[in-house]
């Protein structure tokens, strides 16, 4: 029975993933700060280890992974999903908000890696899936603090692959479009292609079994977002600006 470790498992995509995996009978370590939310997941069928932990604390994260290994055995697959999103207005930059995003979204992933990689290298097998976003593909309105953390995660996963794939560790990067969760509840605009967290969990579980490096969904939306990467810059700014209420000269 594989052991999945999911960070950010107390709500949204992480909670839906943990629930789906537990229902299948898998073992799950669910890590997040809100322990009461993690305990609710225990209603599932599989074996749950709730790990109350802040991913910005490297020592606490390492200790939580050690405890999880003690409770459920070595981690077969880690889904590093904990994240935060606060919309930004770059006419009024608050550096603390940018540092907070980097600390949770980027360093929160990095902090989990040493223990996971050590364990997987020792066994010569394992899978690490890092939750990025289509917002990491190009700079988007309001995403000035969030987007760079997601772009950094894609770059991190690519670099890791060179070292780890030859040693039996499969690295994947997950790029969801809009998913209905606590994080997106702050958005005051129509979110095209919005899907439920349960649908996102199904897509991720399917993607983990595939040989794709990038797990992206829903495809009808992410394919359009992917095209933005190839647009000439001026066309990109005008197209996205016109559709999002940020008209460009």
Tell me which residues are annotated as active site: 146
Q: What distance in Å separates the CA atoms of residue 104 and residue 85, rounded to the nearest whole number? A: 10
Smallest CA-to-CA distance from 149 within 215, 83, 223 is with 83
Give the pair of three-digit tokens for residue 132: 């990025």
Q: What is the 3-state secondary structure (H, E, C) of the chain?
A: CCEEEEECCCCHHHHHHHHHHHHHCCEEEEEECCHHHHHHHHHCCCEEEEEECCCCCHHHHHHHHHHHHHHHCCCCEEEECCCCCCCCCCCCCCHHHHHHHHHHHHHHHHCCHHHHHHHHHHHCCEEEEEECCHHHCCCCCCCCCHHHHHHHHHHHHHHHHHHHHHHCEEEEEEEECCEECCCHHHCCCCCCCCEEHHHHHHHHHHHHHCCCCEEEECHHHHHHHHHHCCCCHHHHHHHHHHHHCCCCC
Among residues 84 and 231, whose Cβ is nearest to ligand NAP?
84
Q: Closest approach of Cβ 33 to ligand NAP, in Å?
A: 3
Q: Closest approach of Cβ 56 to ligand NAP, in Å?
A: 5
Among residues 34 and 223, whose Cβ is nearest to ligand NAP?
34
Prior bond to 218 cis, omega within 30? yes
Among residues 55 and 215, whose Cβ is nearest to ligand NAP?
55
Among residues 193 and 241, whose Cβ is nearest to ligand NAP?
193
Q: What distance in Å separates the CA atoms of residue 223 and residue 237, rounded to the nearest whole number? A: 18
Give the pair of three-digit tokens for residue 233: 């810059």
Among residues 169 and 178, whose Cβ is nearest to ligand NAP?
178
Q: Closest approach of Cβ 83 to ligand NAP, in Å?
A: 2
Residues in contact with ligand NAP by the rule CB under 6 A: 7-14, 32-34, 37, 54-56, 81-85, 104, 108, 131, 133, 176, 178-179, 181-184
Q: Closest approach of Cβ 52 to ligand NAP, in Å?
A: 8
Q: Closest approach of Cβ 28 to ligand NAP, in Å?
A: 13
Q: Closest approach of Cβ 10 to ligand NAP, in Å?
A: 4
Among residues 55 and 169, whose Cβ is nearest to ligand NAP?
55
């Amino acid at each position: 029975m594989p052991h999945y470790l999911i960070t950010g498992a107390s709500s949204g995509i992480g909670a839906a993933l943990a629930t789906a995996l537990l229902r299948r009978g898998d073992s799950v370590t669910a890590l997040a700060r809100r322990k009461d939310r993690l305990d609710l997941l225990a209603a599932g069928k599989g074996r749950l280890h709730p790990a109350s932990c802040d991913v910005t604390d490297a020592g606490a994260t390492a200790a939580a992974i050690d405890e999880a290994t003690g409770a459920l055995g070595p981690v077969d697959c880690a889904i590093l999903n904990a994240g935060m999103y606060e919309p930004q207005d770059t006419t009024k930059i608050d550096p603390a908000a940018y540092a907070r995003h980097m600390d949770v979204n980027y360093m929160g992933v990095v902090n989990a890696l040493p223990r996971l990689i050590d364990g997987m290298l020792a066994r010569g097998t394992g899978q690490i899936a890092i939750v990025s976003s289509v917002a990491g593909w190009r700079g988007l309105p309001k995403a000035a603090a969030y987007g760079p953390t997601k772009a950094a995660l894609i770059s991190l996963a690519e670099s890791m692959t060179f070292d780890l794939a030859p040693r039996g560790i499969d690295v994947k990067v997950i790029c969801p479009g809009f998913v209905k969760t606590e994080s997106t509840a702050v958005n005051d605009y129509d979110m095209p292609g919005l899907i439920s967290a349960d649908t996102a969990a199904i897509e991720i579980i399917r993607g983990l079994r595939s040989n794709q490096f990038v797990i992206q969904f829903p495809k009808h939306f992410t394919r359009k977002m992917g095209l933005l990467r190839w647009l000439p810059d001026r066309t990109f700014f005008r197209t996205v600006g016109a559709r999002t209420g940020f008209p460009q000269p």
